[in-house]
Amino acid sequence: MRYPSVAGTFYTGAKDELSNEINGYISKAESDAGLIEKRKEFHQIIGLVVPHAGHIYSGPVAAYSYSLLKGAPPVTFVIIGPNHTGRGKAIAISREDWTTPLGTVKTDIHVCDSIKMNSQIADFDEEAHKFEHSIEVQLPFIQSLAPDAHVVEICMGVQDYSEAEDLANAIVAAAKETRRNLIVIASSDMTHFEASDAAKALDERALNYISQLKAKDFINLVQGEDMSICGYGPIATAMLWAAKNDGKASILKYANSGDVTGDYGNVVGYASVAFYK
């Protein structure tokens, strides 16, 4: 069992308060006329990009993606996050069930095993997940909106294009082998610690490639410009997954930490993106 590492810091550790906060984020996102209009395009959600800062900062943006899950059929979420701690293996798959203040999330062992078998790089490893927040902060949203869902948690310590492509191919193979309905969630914040206007300009360049599903160009931009998008490998993996499933991308919401703190001189950018058919 993987127990909470950042409950009480990145999000509230009190069950009822946590549930109320998430429901509030979702309700506000659902009332946005722009999101209501975009939803008309979506027949099937196959992937999401969501931020992973403390809920108070990025939760309102993450809610734009997660609001699309209401009423979704039974599904397994493959959540891919970057490795901030440096612990564990390069591409680490967890086989443990995970807990949060809202209860236990069951891991889909069959999908885990299939991804591992079809990847040249990924391996089972709990150490990489031990203190990593990028996946944990997503689980309360999933528990609130898709309580019967299963999950697969993957931590990317290496985020080059070859790793993203290998992992995307393995997920495609796992979907076919297990006949599961999979939704790939890429957990990532955008540009870190720039003035708001500068961060937005950088992130607009990245989001342009994301919206076109140009994964290689996206990674080349991030690496070539030394951008501070922390989960660019997970994002590229989700882009490749979407492209291999004849999907499209839609930018749902962009904001930054200054919208919460009032400090626009040194922000972190947050984006919600839907991959859909």
Residue 5 within any structural domain of the chain: no
Assigned domain for 216 exists: yes
Could you give the number of structural domains in the chain?
1
| 10-residue mean pLDDT series, the chain (277 residues) | 97 98 97 94 96 98 96 90 97 98 98 98 98 98 95 98 98 98 98 96 98 98 96 98 98 97 97 98
- pLDDT recorded at residue 71: 76
Residue 168's domain spans which residues? 15-276
pTM for the whole structure: 0.98
CATH number at residue 247: 3.40.830.10
- The answer to whether the CB of 186 falls within 8 A of the CB of 171 is no
pLDDT the model gives residue 61: 98
Where in the chain does DSSP place strands (E)?
Answer: 45-50, 76-82, 91-94, 98-100, 103-105, 123-124, 150-156, 182-187, 192-194, 248-256, 267-276
3 belongs to a structural domain? no
pLDDT of residue 70: 85
- Asked if residue 4 is part of any domain, the answer here is no
Note whether residue 68 is domain-resident: yes
Residue 107 counted as domain residue: yes
The answer to whether residue 181 sits within a structural domain is yes
Asked if the structure places residue 6 within a domain, the reply is: no
Q: What local confidence, expressed as pLDDT, does residue 74 receive?
A: 83
